[in-house]
Amino acid sequence: MTLVVEAASEIPDGVRVRARPVATGLVAPDGAALAAAPAAALQGFSGAVGETATIAHEDGSAEILVGVGTAADLDGETCRLAGASLVAAATACEAVVLDASGLAGGTLDPAGVAQAIAEGVLLASYRFTRQKADPKPAALGRVVVVAPEVAATSSGVGRAVVTAGAVSCARDLVNTPAGELTPSAFAEIAAGYGNRQGFSVAIWDEKQIFAAGLGGLAGVAQGSAEPPRLVRAEYGPEDPRAPTVVLVGKGITFDSGGLSLKSADLMMTMKYDMSGAAVVLAVLGACQGLGIGVRVVGFMPMTENMPGGRAIKPGDVVKVRNGRTIEVLNTDCEGRLVLADALCLAAEESPDAIVDVATLTAAVVVALGRRIAGLMGNDDRIVAALQRAAARAGEALWWLPLPWGYRPSFDSEIAEMKNLGVAREAGALVAGLILEEFVGATPWAHLDVCGPAWASETTGYLRQGGTGFGVRTLLELLAGYEPLRSPAAAGATGRTMLK
């Protein structure tokens, strides 16, 4: 059953379960007193974010109280979590009405409230059941968001449906077994998705990849029986003068580490190493539905990283798209090799900005954990714009430096650079510095999503498995995009460190 979320100005007939937001202190978010309720139903319920309490009435109807925390701290993420907790509390209900009339205020307008609630509801209801012989359908099939401003509420719900659909697309791709989602299969899916969602797709096979000088992508692919693919996607708005933003997504459909083999434990989730490509494809698919006014180009280099008989060896050298050579000392640092080629292609588009998304380093997980992505870049304006977009989307980013003083750590004696720096030192930062070598003067930002792209357990609106992290942030960035025309502010990119 597909969950339907809709907007209304009043409670529709026939829906016998009503949900009501409750702030800390057991009051409505607008300060109104909570109607009397049985003490047993409220036991342990304080109105904190994520809490729920169900009150059953004698006539068979019910009321679900949904905690939203302190009224003064109400924001979009609170509303998403409230929507998610409602789904958890209403699993046995066929339909629920959520009264959102008292939630707007401060930084949240009615459309923003409705969008955030609906996103939480839809993302929390996500299930990946394709591999199950007899999946149990969810009972909850309809959620009605009620507020007086029905036009704004309907607009917000509509945007949430498109956004959550994109996130679910990315999650589906990441959750698909690597034996099924090969580079060729991903390319075929991308072509079909583009036809349905209103963007164009071009696919390069291994011969075209070789002819185009994509030596990083071709080199990583050598060890796999599956041929590589380069997927280029493009969405164009009606305005031909619109700025261009290029998105690049790492697409390693399975990462064994190559000859620098990972441990068995680390390989268990390595189908998720194409999360960046999944995010980029999903974002392209939502552009038309959200009316994005920016030309968006996506590059997705797709391959497996396997230890076959032809696999690239430690000490080998590859030549990437722009003619630069990289000495490969660790074949498990393959992401930067395939991204080098894709970033060169991105820069050739002469875009206003480039943003890459990649599950690039375990080092960023050591630094920031599983809930925060690393953010780096060569231009303060695009980095700051991503921070603002992530704050609106509820996806946590942390701005990390790119210190010039670490650049010599990946100098090579036999090539122009190595594919890693000093072992166990600043791994995420050095990886970012390596990527920067291939964007030229184009404003560029890098999202290392190695931590939050995969959830080890179900919490809030995240389901165990692929999360689609980055889709909402990039859509927020594109929806409110302002061309980068003024000079970058000096001294705030980490360049003041380690001259």
Structure tokens at 338: 């395939």
- How far CA 142 is from CA of 2, 55, 93, 396, in Å, comes to 9, 20, 9, 30
Residue 444 belongs to what H/E stretch?
Answer: strand 444-448
- Phi and psi dihedrals of 471, rounded to 5? -60, -50
Catalytic: which of 262, 319, 324, 495?
Answer: 262
Task: Give per-residue burial for 334-371: e unless 16+ CB within 10 Å, then b.
Answer: bbbbbbbbbbbbbbebebbbbbbbbbbbebbbebbeee
Catalytic residue among 171, 250, 336, 381: 336
- Match 């019910």 to its residue by tokens: 62
Q: Residue 39 phi/psi, 5° resolution?
A: -60, -35
**255: closest CA among 268, 242, 236?**
268
373, 469 contact by CB (below 8 A):
yes
Q: How far apart are CA 337 and CA 439, in angstroms?
A: 14
Comparing C-alpha atoms, which of 248, 252, 308, 279 is closest to residue 442? 248
The rounded Cα 177 to chain-centroid distance in angstroms is 19
Query: Which alpha helices (H) appear in 198-263, and where do they start and end?
Result: 206-211, 215-221
207 catalytic? Reply is: no
* CA–CA gap between residue 443 and residue 380 (Å, rounded): 9
**Catalytic annotation on 142?**
no
Angle of helix 183-197 relative to helix 275-290, nearest 10 degrees?
10
3-state SS, residue 127: coil
> 97 forms bridges with which residues in the sheet?
18, 144
C-alpha atoms less than 13 angstroms from C-alpha of 472 in its C-beta half-sphere? 30
Q: Are 63 and 18 in contact (CB under 8 A)?
A: yes
The catalytic residues are 262, 336
